[in-house]
Amino acid sequence: MMNSLLVGLGGFLGAISRYTISQRLNKPIPGFPYGTLTVNLVGAFLLGWIAGGDLAEEGLLFFGVGFMGAFTTFSTLHLESIQLGKPGRWGKTFLYLGLTYTGGILIALLGYLLGTALFSG
């Protein structure tokens, strides 16, 4: 029961954080989903950091499963990718996907390495 509460509370906070950041970053520069890109890249880094760290099971459930699970949003990524390409602007779609996937993998690795360096030893 406690594990479910940790995941649920983390998810609640992660979803609110994602919504707030996406709303604030998407409005000033219309035409490109900077907010979703930001939360996905920050989320990749933080999840890598969490995985590289030495968190107790409760911390992993709250931050890794709950918060990060709700904070990052690949379903929105895919919808926005389709919307970017609708008017024939496939260049923006491929830029967005390239930044998200390549950047996400690299920044998750950086977070993992940083978490391992900070929490080991």
72 marked among binding-site residues: yes
Q: How far is CA 116 from CA 19, 71, 112, in A?
A: 30, 22, 6
φ/ψ (deg, to 5) at 11: -65, -40
Half-sphere exposure of 78 (CA within 13 A, CB side): 3
Q: Residue 113: what residue type?
A: L
Half-sphere exposure of 81 (CA within 13 A, CB side): 16
70 with 7: CB under 8 angstroms? no
38 marked among binding-site residues: no
Q: Residue 44: what residue type?
A: A
Enumerate the known binding-site residues.
Answer: 69, 72
Binding-site residues for Na(+), please?
69, 72
